[in-house]
């Protein structure tokens, strides 16, 4: 192998200085040398000049380096680092060397083209070991030909860099990116057929799966920020005890744990030892470290993603970066769910308003004509009754269209329900507590139930409802047979009402109501996990209400439903 060819090849990878033998000792004394190659030196001279210093320098090279010769069909020289990489890596490297020699000798561009240093261009490849139950290792390999002008390549120099950490990070980022794309791919047509609880449950299944598969996070919570109350509502909890759900947290730098701090500052937080961090509020039993990142949408905090581990120092800066990337997709997915609710509500109002405008004119004309008939038939009582009935029907049509347009602020089919005031033996004497801040909804439900013999107590706020529950199930109280509550109340959430009701009576039948599937605090999913019996999505029909409230009191065993 000609010395000049070796020098040209090595200069592709290293700074190479060629010196005569009489300067070798002086050059070896310099601290910046990493390897020495000598040609035409006797063992005695080499030992005097290079050993043990030369051996130390060669051994200190961080990369694995070898020379592969086609003539000997194998590695003719290698440094200790290359030999330490194991048989699998060495075999994969030699396979790449064989392919490279073939490419240099058959591909004109690869074997003839030169770079600015007038040296043959090398080939760069990536190899990785099979997993075999363990994590694969990745190496970048730079293969440079050793040739004389006009001759075929018979030998190459290969240098290996261990890029396992970099490659794993790259693969993980790609996996998170693909998982995120799946997370936000919420088919509009499918989502429109699902109610709020079903939508959130679908998203929860995806988040749990990808957090485990892509990030290896098995113990985490997701809180969403309620802008009005500044409260952090727990919407998802995986692998953490139920007690976590009872902790009230707010967006604040102090007094609300790490979750509150991250929500307030919008900055991620690594807690490597929970025992020495004053901000940490216990979540996972025997938790020793946590990772908390904000959920951001348009640079605004909408919630917090909190992960815990039973090991100290379980999370790295790389984990933080991965979690932040995943959190961006989670934020976008929640945002899409909210947009679907807004779209449904807006579309309903638009269609109803358009319909109301279209039928007003013919109804006005019909009412004028009916008034003329009523005046004309003043002497005919039967005809006058028909005219009055037509006018009442016209007013009923107007009222029903208005109810539909009002959407969640109305109940449909009330006229028919109120025309049937007969006592219902199934509901007679049953005690109901109805909580809704919309007076129309609250009073309408009360009228429908009272006309059928039920005893109804009405409350306009969550605090009133909680007080009624505590009094009803307290000393001397008569209790309640059923609770019907709106989810969105001005002073608390439907889940809070549900929790208080469960504490007062584990057997109390509970129905929650929400408008157009709107569930800002995701009370439905949380309550459903704890035994919620039914959900009514406004605007619902009065008959549907009657069907649901009769279920637990009928002879047959009631089947919990979610509608």
pLDDT in tens, 431-465: 999 999 888 889 989 999 999 999 999 999 999 99
Q: Could you tell me the pLDDT band of residue 557, with boundaries at 50, 70 and 90?
A: very low
Q: What is the pLDDT of residues 258-271, one digit of tens each?
A: 999 999 999 999 99
* Residues near 457 by beta carbon (within 8 Å), at least 6 away in sequence: 431, 432, 433, 434, 468, 472, 480
- The CB density around residue 456, as the number of other CB atoms within 10 Å, is 20
For range 169-186, the mean pLDDT:
75
Indicate if the pLDDT at residue 533 is higher than 60.
yes
For range 58-75, the mean pLDDT:
84
Give the orientation angle of helix 196-215 with respect to helix 317-376, to 10 degrees.
170
* Percentage of the residues of the chain whose pLDDT score is greater than 90: 23
- Strands (DSSP E) contained in 287-414 are 289-297, 300-309
- Whole-angstrom distance, CA of residue 483 vs CA of residue 536: 13
Q: Looking at residue 195, what is its pLDDT?
A: 62
Least confident of 31-45, 115-129, 283-297, 410-424: 31-45
* Percentage of the residues of the chain whose pLDDT score is greater than 70: 69
Least confident of 16-20, 42-46, 76-80: 42-46
Q: What is the pLDDT of residues 43-66, one digit of tens each?
A: 445 555 555 555 566 667 778 988
* Residues near 306 by beta carbon (within 8 Å), at least 6 away in sequence: 220, 221, 222, 223, 258, 259, 262, 283, 290, 291, 292
Smallest CA-to-CA distance from 78 within 99, 95, 58 is with: 58
Least confident of 15-19, 384-388, 435-439: 384-388
Q: Looking at residue 251, what is its pLDDT?
A: 94
- Whole-angstrom distance, CA of residue 529 vs CA of residue 536: 17
Q: What is the pLDDT of residues 119-160, one digit of tens each?
A: 456 788 888 887 544 578 889 999 988 876 667 888 999 999
More confident residue, 370 or 119: 370
Q: Looking at residue 245, what is its pLDDT?
A: 62
| Token digits of residue 120 | 């043959």
> What is the DSSP secondary-structure string of 23-46?
GHHHHHTSTT------SS--HHHH
The DSSP 8-state label assigned to residue 558 in this structure reads P
| Token digits of residue 376 | 């004309």
For range 341-364, the mean pLDDT:
55
Highest mean pLDDT among 48-62, 100-114, 208-222, 527-541: 208-222
Cross-strand partners of 250: 231
Q: Looking at residue 342, what is its pLDDT?
A: 47
Least confident of 24-38, 194-208, 455-469, 520-534: 24-38
Q: Looking at residue 116, what is its pLDDT?
A: 40
Highest mean pLDDT among 1-15, 88-102, 223-237: 88-102
Highest mean pLDDT among 20-34, 79-93, 225-239: 79-93
- The CB density around residue 47, as the number of other CB atoms within 10 Å, is 12
Give the orientation angle of helix 164-183 with respect to helix 196-215, to 10 degrees.
170
Q: Looking at residue 347, what is its pLDDT?
A: 46
| Token digits of residue 89 | 């890596």
- Whole-angstrom distance, CA of residue 527 vs CA of residue 497: 10
Q: Could you tell me the pLDDT band of residue 177, with boundaries at 50, 70 and 90?
A: confident
Q: Looking at residue 149, what is its pLDDT?
A: 64
Direct distance between the N- and C-terminal alpha carbons of the chain, in angstroms, rounded to an integer: 82
DSSP H stretches of helix in 61-163: 80-83, 87-106, 108-112
Q: Looking at residue 10, what is its pLDDT?
A: 75
Cα-flanking dihedrals φ and ψ of residue 83, to 5°?
-65, -25
The DSSP 8-state label assigned to residue 85 in this structure reads T
| Token digits of residue 331 | 């934020």
H/E segment holding residue 431: strand 431-435
Burial 189-203 (b: 16+ CB within 10 A, else e): eebeeebbbbbbbbb
The DSSP 8-state label assigned to residue 245 in this structure reads G
Indicate if the pLDDT at residue 42 is higher than 60.
no
- Kindly report the average pLDDT of the chain as a whole number: 77
Q: Looking at residue 114, what is its pLDDT?
A: 39
- Whole-angstrom distance, CA of residue 240 vs CA of residue 130: 36
For range 5-31, the mean pLDDT:
70
Q: Looking at residue 338, what is its pLDDT?
A: 66
Contact predicate 280/255, CB 8 Å: no
Contact predicate 184/207, CB 8 Å: no
Q: Looking at residue 291, what is its pLDDT?
A: 94
More confident residue, 125 or 182: 125
- For the chain, the maximum distance between any two Cα atoms, rounded to a whole number of angstroms, is 141
- Whole-angstrom distance, CA of residue 186 vs CA of residue 334: 11
- Whole-angstrom distance, CA of residue 53 vs CA of residue 55: 5
- Strands (DSSP E) contained in 192-299 are 220-226, 231-238, 249-250, 269-271, 289-297
CA angle 130, 132, 136 (to 5 degrees): 45
């Amino acid at each position: 192998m000609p010395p000049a060819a070796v020098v040209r090849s090595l200069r592709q990878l290293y700074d190479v200085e060629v010196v005569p033998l009489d300067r070798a000792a002086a050059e070896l004394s310099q601290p910046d040398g990493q390897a020495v190659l000598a040609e035409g030196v006797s063992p005695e001279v080499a030992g005097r000049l290079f050993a043990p210093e030369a051996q130390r320098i060669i051994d200190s090279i961080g990369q694995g380096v070898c020379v592969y010769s086609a003539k000997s069909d194998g590695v003719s020289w290698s440094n200790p680092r290359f030999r330490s990489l194991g048989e699998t890596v060495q075999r994969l490297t030699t396979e790449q060397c064989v392919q490279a020699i073939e490419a240099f000798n058959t591909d004109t561009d690869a074997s003839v083209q030169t770079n600015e240093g007038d040296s043959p261009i090398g080939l760069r490849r990536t190899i990785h070991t099979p997993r075999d139950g363990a994590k694969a290792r990745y190496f970048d390999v730079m293969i440079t030909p050793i040739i004389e002008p006009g001759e075929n390549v018979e030998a190459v120099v290969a240098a290996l860099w261990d890029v396992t950490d970099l490659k794993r990070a790259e693969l993980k980022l790609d996996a998170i990116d693909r998982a995120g794309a799946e997370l936000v791919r919420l088919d509009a047509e499918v989502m429109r057929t699902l109610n709020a609880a079903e939508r959130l449950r679908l998203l929860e299944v995806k988040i749990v799966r990808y957090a485990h598969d892509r990030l290896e996070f098995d113990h985490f919570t997701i809180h969403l920020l309620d802008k009005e109350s500044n409260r952090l509502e727990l919407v998802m909890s995986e692998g953490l005890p139920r007690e976590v759900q009872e902790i009230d947290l707010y967006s604040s730098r102090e007094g609300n744990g790490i979750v509150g701090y991250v929500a307030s500052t919008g900055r991620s937080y690594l807690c490597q030892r929970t025992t020495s961090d004053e901000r940490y509020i216990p979540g996972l039993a025997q938790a020793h470290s946590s990772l908390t990142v904000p959920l951001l949408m348009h640079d605004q905090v909408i919630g917090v993603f909190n992960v815990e581990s039973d090991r100290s120092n379980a999370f790295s800066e790389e984990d933080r970066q991965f979690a932040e990337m995943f959190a961006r997709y989670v934020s976008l997915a929640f945002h899409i769910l909210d947009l679907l609710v807004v779209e449904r509500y807006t579309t309903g109002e638009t269609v109803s308003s358009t319909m109301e405008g279209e039928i007003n004119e013919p109804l006005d004309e019909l009412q004028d004509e009916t008034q003329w008939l009523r005046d004309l038939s003043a002497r005919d009582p039967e005809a006058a009754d028909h005219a009055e009935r037509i006018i009442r029907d016209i007013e009923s049509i107007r009222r029903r269209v208005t109810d539909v347009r009002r959407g969640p602020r109305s109940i449909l089919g009330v006229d028919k329900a109120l025309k049937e005031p007969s006592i219902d033996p199934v509901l007679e004497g049953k005690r109901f507590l109805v909580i809704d801040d919309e007076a129309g909804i609250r009073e309408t439900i009360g009228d429908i139930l009272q006309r059928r013999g039920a005893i109804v107590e009405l409350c306009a706020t969550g605090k009133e409802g909680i007080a009624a529950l505590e009094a009803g199930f307290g000393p001397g109280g008569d209790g309640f047979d059923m609770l019907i509550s709106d989810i969105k109340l001005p002073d608390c959430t439907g889940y809070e009402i549900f929790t208080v009701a469960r504490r007062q009576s584990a057997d109390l039948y509970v129905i929650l109501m929400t408008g157009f599937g709107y569930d800002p605090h995701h009370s439905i999913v949380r309550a459903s996990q704890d035994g919620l019996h039914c959900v009514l999505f406004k605007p619902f029909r009065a008959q549907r209400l009657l069907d649901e409230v009769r279920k637990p009191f009928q002879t047959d065993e009631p089947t919990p439903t979610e509608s």
